[in-house]
Amino acid sequence: MSKTHFLAKPKSLAVFLFTGILLLFGFAFVYVSFGAKEISFKLVIKALFAYDAQITECIYIRDSRLARYFAGIIVGASLALTGSIMQGSTNNPLADAGLLGISSGASFAIVLIAMFLPAIGRLQMFALTSLGSFLSTVLVIGISFMGKSTFQKERLVLAGMSVSMLFSSLTMIFIIKGKLFQKMAYYNAGSLANANWSILALAIPVFIVFSLFSIAISKQLTILNLGNDVAISLGVKVSQIGFIVLIIVLVLTSISVILIGPVAYIGLIVPHLVRRMVGTDYRYILPTAMLMGSVLVVVCDFFARIILRPSEIPIGVIISLIGVPVLIWVSRQKASSMM
């Protein structure tokens, strides 16, 4: 066990996760108090524990800021989880739903829905967004195979970036054509501003179910990290695990895109940080990644709301400022290991 893996022991990890969850929910008081308009802690406590529908601030805290906070938790945990299982199943350190074009396919579907089916229900929106994710995934995999008889992991990121640029361009064309720029500008740059309890009523149970599926295959993901040949020799059904991972990634990415838009790098930043903390055991990586992903998103969103208040910076901008240096660092690490 490496000295840097200070959470590789179950007891240490349990204490860390418990403390982290307490701090995360404790931060909610600070998060909902600050923004374009500051709200006193007294009113925050009243809104959370003695809700009064006659007080405007109570309604605003519950329906806007608190919904936004929980959306940040779900998005951060979902994208960190998808990044972790994608990297584990493909053995590719650059795998991320945003970088591989999956998010951009879902985002394109959202824009088409806003343009042609604005009154659509939550379940139908979720289904169509998942379809957008699926189509972009098929394109990425197809390009990775192009001209080769076998799947090329090295071409995966390039294919993903190409598909991402394609769907991003199509998204912008339809935003302009449909006169949706005012409505979709912040969303397309990544924003939790439109999060609400109606969407969360679908997102929370979906996240819980599919995160449990992910944890159920954590042992197999750990073995897959050793390579497909080793995994097969140890009895892992590689194709079956790959299919399960694909479904989890499509579903959780779709939910995240509905809530925040096409934000990249969360699934890249968090897994690399977490592996330095807990090692390569996915039984430890997945719960830690979900916690750290949630922390990353809610903290970034907090600063996105207060840095230029009363204006707001899209959270995707802040996360990209962190993610681009991480991408460069990971790419250099990978290049060094291949020399």
Write the pLDDT tens digit of every residue in 60-111: 999 999 999 999 999 999 999 999 999 998 888 888 888 788 999 999 999 9
Write the pLDDT tens digit of every residue in 101-149: 899 999 999 999 988 998 888 889 999 999 999 999 999 888 877 766 5
Q: Is residue 76 part of a domain?
A: yes
> Could you tell me how far CA 100 lies from the centroid of its own chain?
13
- The pLDDT of residue 148: 62
Contacts of 276 (CB under 8 A, 6+ apart): 4, 5
Write the pLDDT tens digit of every residue in 158-197: 888 899 999 999 999 988 887 787 778 788 888 998 899 9
- The pLDDT of residue 1: 44
Q: Give me the mean pLDDT over the 229-255 stretch.
A: 92
3-state secondary structure of 264: coil
Are the C-beta atoms of residues 83 and 292 closer than 8 Å to each other?
A: no
Contacts of 312 (CB under 8 A, 6+ apart): 36, 186, 191, 193, 304, 305
Q: Is residue 108 part of a domain?
A: yes
Residue-wise DSSP of 84-101: HHHHHHHT-TT--TTTTT
Q: Is residue 1 part of a domain?
A: no
Q: Is residue 2 part of a domain?
A: no
Average pLDDT score, the chain: 89
Structure tokens at 238: 């590689």
- The pLDDT of residue 184: 83
* Distance from C-alpha of 89 to C-alpha of 95, rounded to nearest angstrom: 10
* Distance from C-alpha of 182 to C-alpha of 184, rounded to nearest angstrom: 6
Residue-wise DSSP of 189-237: H---TT--HHHHHHHHHHHHHHHHHHHHTHHHHHHHTT-HHHHHHTT--
* Distance from C-alpha of 232 to C-alpha of 32, rounded to nearest angstrom: 49
CATH number assigned to the domain comprising residue 96: 1.10.3470.10
Q: Is residue 3 part of a domain?
A: no
* CA dist list (Å): 132 to 176, 240, 263, 279: 20, 22, 15, 34
Containing structural domain, residue 201: 10-338
- Report if pTM > 0.85: yes
Write the pLDDT tens digit of every residue in 8-32: 788 889 999 999 999 999 999 999 9
* pLDDT confidence bin for 338, thresholds 50/70/90: low
* Distance from C-alpha of 98 to C-alpha of 112, rounded to nearest angstrom: 19
* Distance from C-alpha of 306 to C-alpha of 300, rounded to nearest angstrom: 10
Q: Shortest CA distance to 100 belongs to which of 182, 157, 172?
A: 157
Q: Is residue 36 part of a domain?
A: yes
Q: How many domains does the chain have?
A: 1
> Could you tell me how far CA 124 lies from the centroid of its own chain?
21
